[in-house]
Amino acid sequence: MNASILARMLRHDWLPLLLMAIAAIVVLALISASFFSNYNLFVMLRILSVTSLVALSQMVTIAIGQMNLAVGAIGGLVAILFGAMLELYGVPIPLAVLAAIGIGLLCGAVNGVLIAWTRINGFIITLAMLSVFTGLNYGITKSIPFYNMPQALKTAYDSYLGPIPMILFIPVLAALGVGFVLNRTRAGRHMLAMGGNPAAAELAGISVTRTLIFTHVLSGGLAGLAGVVAVARLGTAEPSIGADWLLASFAAPVIGGAALAGGHVSVIGTMIAVVLVILLENGLLLARTNPFYVQFFLGALILLAVMFNQWRARRTEARRASGRVVPT
Amino acid sequence: MSALLTVSGVSKSYPGVLALDGVNLRLQAGKIHALVGENGAGKSSLIKILTGVIEPDAGDIVLAGKPVRFSRPRESLAAGIAVVHQERNLIPRYSVAENMFLDRLPTRYGVVQRRQMHDGARRWLDVLELDVDPATPVRYLSVAQMQLVEIGRALSLQSKVLLLDEPTASISEHEVERLVGILRRLRDQGTAILFVSHKLEEVISLCDRITVLRDGQNASDAQPLAGMSKDDIVTLMVGREAAVTGLGTRTATPGPCRLELDGVATAAGHVGVNIKVHAGEVVGLYGLVGAGRTELAKALIGVDRVTGGHVRIDGRPVRVRSPLEALRRWRLGYVSEDRKGEGLILAHSVTRNTAITVWHRLRRAGGLIWGGIERAFIRPLIERLDVRTPSLEQAVGNLSGGNQQKVSVAKWLAADTRILIIDEPTVGVDVRTKGYLHRLVWKLADEGTAVLLITSELAEMIQLADRIYVMNGYRVVGEVANSHDYDGMSGTLMQIIQKDNDVRFQPGRAQEERGGQHV
């Protein structure tokens, strides 16, 4: 490949990832005839519908330079409360969805207000709230799922709009929405400003407190939505929903090129990374690899992606230094 | 005429340091007021209080007849006080326009209106005659352009009170003239302007009144500038007694060349740096903030990479890959300018902080370090430096700024270095400690250490150094033998920098073209 084309493509955080994803798809299609089967594609899409929301939920907190360890715990709590509303109280589905998202927003607000009020590190607060939310979840359910979800929920989840499965809209709309908030709204610009340089943001007259709380509310809402979608996907409201979200929630934004210190995240990169993770799992499945090794390969993928990002950042830095006398 | 902004009896103390001690300041509408003082005199603390970055311990602030108290920057902005801080406060990935309007992005239904924002920014860029696209991320701008963006942001607030902390430090003479024109116009429209600068010529030609701070107190309080000379101001700044007494003189007896930089380039962006430091010599590296002095020191000790030229120690070409190697193999030490961030581990004891450079030598059988041996080694150093601490086990975070600085220096004395780079040794320390540290620098040189001194404080540089290199824009742009005459030397050094800036910032002239060239 021409060196200058390669250089230009490397400038976008997500282009090498996209190439990797395409390569993975080609390889998988060659390895296994069943890869492009409707069934297999639908299985992947179902995973995507949840994981993309989980990744975005974490990504917005990374944008301000924080973490939300309670992403899965919020998702789980929302999932069982959503299930309870449907099974025990017969709440109409649209209302229950809205209420469930509201609970997610509320959980996020608790995180945000606690961090802002105590000024304790967000890592610790969300770690504690992870336990609090999970405890509530198991206390309410005694670890027993709500099995009787209305058929209408399953039907809606598996329905098509013309040839397009409805569940494809979830990641697409969520990504567009979060991208819009971050890039085009005042609140989103304040978030990335705070992540990029908290002192400068505060001196410029931004309310760091308000931005911090808004971010956690947004993160909680997305985690809650992920919980709702997970219930629709499984057909039962299981208390264990969310228990295994944490790794993917960090892996996707970081593979997607996010700076853990804050100030820079890529919505497209994160979404491609989610697809890449799903392809990896699917590929291992199709190749009949021992499923217990999935974690191993996922870890390897994270390491490789982060090392690549690091290499690229150093390279850009070196170029800038050699091209200019006064560094910026 | 009554004042628009009155500060009276404001005090602020940090652990061990009284930064402001009952300071007064009165700004009038339609006047440009100068605030001058040496580094550490309290100018920046005062500005931080006026802009809600820090809160005063005591004192009153009255704005337009009403008492005010700011506990965060938003509040002071809302009250109509705009500021250009001394440090750059931009968000690198954000555009020029976004940085200017960050706190008041024009929105419709919460959605940022980019065109409106860019139009707004362009208006102020035009006023400053800064020819950049408002959509450019600021990280692609030069330092001078960034400075102008910050000034543009402050102007765009169109506030009643405008505070400028060293706005001209990194811009060219041409840009300074333009800024001066704008400030005069704002003054005539009734804005109250506070102008902080080290460049006394600017102060004298631009300002109406002057407040001088010295060691956190008023040396003058809103004195009319008419009829004052540069000498008058300098005397107010340094104080008569300090100007007269001082250290006396020192005759340097340089030995062999210990450290030599020959055309050194670094990953940080230095080009063609030539410097020699001999044993027994105090060599100064002078420059304005952002000139690249600390960055050069970091490259020399192996934190950053040297990418070109030669570094020689005792005539041998060396490649220092890490601070560990610098210390162990070449006995090259670096006293950091940032004692809290890099110089000390605040929660650790005096002993541990001092012994950290010599643990490998204090190890006994089995690699163990015994507290007794450690303390016995450290005690003479702590006594020699007269560190005031209740015990050697005291956490250094509890000591005063001056004593912290002594500990920061002590650990390098413990390491017994042959070449010592000392970066801003007396920032935020009291006068007595300052004198003490000054004598120590000379004593080290007299004992044969090659000392490379970095300081932004002109008086300190002219007092201590035998020779001075001037650094600007990551290059060495001049070398001067120190005459120890403050007025003459300060003029000479400033001239070298100004002359270089004028060439550097000439439109259409690439900086790379003259990399490494000496003036």
Residues of chain B positioned with their CB less than 8 A from the CB of A206: 74, 102-103
Query: Do B5-240 and B246-331+417-519 fold alike per CATH?
Result: yes
Q: Does B53 touch chain A (CB under 8 A)?
A: yes
Residues of chain A positioned with their CB less than 8 A from the CB of B267: 318, 321
Residues of chain B positioned with their CB less than 8 A from the CB of A325: 269, 271, 473-475, 511-512, 515
Q: Is residue A151 part of a domain?
A: yes
Kindly determine whether residue A328 and residue B473, on different chains, have CB atoms separated by under 8 Å.
Answer: no
Under 8 Å CB-to-CB from A204, ≥6 apart: which residues? A193, B73, B89, B99, B102, B103, B153
Q: Does B74 touch chain A (CB under 8 A)?
A: yes
Kindly determine whether residue B73 and residue A327, on different chains, have CB atoms separated by under 8 Å.
Answer: no
The reported pLDDT for the residue numbered B512 is 42
Residues of chain B positioned with their CB less than 8 A from the CB of A321: 267-269
The range of the structural domain enclosing residue A135 comes to 46-242
Residues of chain B positioned with their CB less than 8 A from the CB of A187: 110
Successive 10-residue mean pLDDT values, chain B, 519 residues: 88 79 94 86 90 94 94 93 89 93 90 93 91 91 87 92 88 84 93 89 91 89 86 78 58 90 92 94 88 92 92 93 90 88 86 86 78 86 84 84 86 89 82 81 92 87 92 92 84 85 62 38
Domain boundaries, chain B: 5-240, 246-331+417-519, 344-415
The reported pLDDT for the residue numbered B39 is 67
Query: Domain tally for chain A?
Result: 1
Counting one residue from A and one from B, how many pairs have CB atoms under 8 Å apart? 99
**Mean pLDDT within A220-224:** 98
DSSP assignment letter at B245: S
Q: Are B197 and B203 in contact (CB under 8 A)?
A: yes
Residues of chain A positioned with their CB less than 8 A from the CB of B139: 328
Q: What angle do CA B324, B327, B332 make, to 5 degrees?
A: 135
The reported pLDDT for the residue numbered B185 is 92
Q: Between the CA of residue B398 and those of B3, B40, B215, B426, B439, what are the distances in Å?
A: 40, 20, 22, 18, 25
DSSP assignment letter at B199: -
Q: Are B105 and B62 in contact (CB under 8 A)?
A: no
Kindly determine whether residue B511 and residue A201, on different chains, have CB atoms separated by under 8 Å.
Answer: no
Kindly determine whether residue B74 and residue A328, on different chains, have CB atoms separated by under 8 Å.
Answer: no
Under 8 Å CB-to-CB from B251, ≥6 apart: which residues? none
Mutate: best of A192, A194, A328, partner B, most B CBs <10 A? A328
Enter the pTM of the model: 0.78
Chain B, residues 130-169, CB within 8 A of chain A, namely 138-143, 146, 153
Among A66-75, A125-134, A169-178, B490-499, where is mean pLDDT lowest?
Answer: B490-499
Smallest Cα distance from A200 to chain B, Å: 5
Q: Are A178 and A214 in contact (CB under 8 A)?
A: no
Q: Is residue A293 part of a domain?
A: no
Question: In this structure, which amino acid lies at residue B117?
Answer: M
Kindly determine whether residue A207 and residue B74, on different chains, have CB atoms separated by under 8 Å.
Answer: yes
Smallest Cα distance from B363 to chain A, Å: 37
A274-310 pLDDT per residue, tens: 999 999 988 888 888 887 888 898 899 889 888 888 8
What distance in Å separates the CA atoms of residue B319 and residue B304, rounded to the nearest whole number?
A: 12
Q: Is residue A74 part of a domain?
A: yes
Tell me the pairing of strands B209-214 and B217-224.
antiparallel
Half-sphere exposure of B454 (CA within 13 A, CB side): 23
The reported pLDDT for the residue numbered B202 is 86
| CATH number of the domain to which A234 belongs | 1.10.3470.10
Smallest Cα distance from A36 to chain B, Å: 40
The reported pLDDT for the residue numbered B240 is 57
Kindly determine whether residue B102 and residue A207, on different chains, have CB atoms separated by under 8 Å.
Answer: no
**Mean pLDDT within A212-236:** 97
The reported pLDDT for the residue numbered B518 is 37
Confidence of residue A324 (pLDDT cuts 50, 70, 90): very low
Q: What fold is seen in the domain B5-240?
A: Rossmann fold (3.40.50)
The reported pLDDT for the residue numbered B514 is 37
Q: Is A258 helix (H, G, I), strand (E, B) or coil?
A: coil
The reported pLDDT for the residue numbered A162 is 83
Tell me the residue ranges of DSSP E strands in A106-191: 160-161, 164-165
**Mean pLDDT within A300-324:** 76
A99-148 pLDDT per residue, tens: 999 999 999 999 999 999 999 999 999 999 999 999 999 999 998 999 99
DSSP assignment letter at B223: E
Confidence of residue A11 (pLDDT cuts 50, 70, 90): low
The reported pLDDT for the residue numbered B241 is 52
Confidence of residue A4 (pLDDT cuts 50, 70, 90): low
The reported pLDDT for the residue numbered B106 is 92
Q: Is residue A79 part of a domain?
A: yes
**Mean pLDDT within A171-198:** 93
ipTM for the complex?
A: 0.79
Is the CATH number 3.40.50.300 carried by domain B246-331+417-519?
Answer: yes
Tell me the pairing of strands B273-278 and B282-286.
unpaired
Kindly determine whether residue B269 and residue A324, on different chains, have CB atoms separated by under 8 Å.
Answer: yes
pLDDT at A1 over 80: no
What distance in Å separates the CA atoms of residue B236 and residue B243, rounded to the nearest whole number?
A: 10
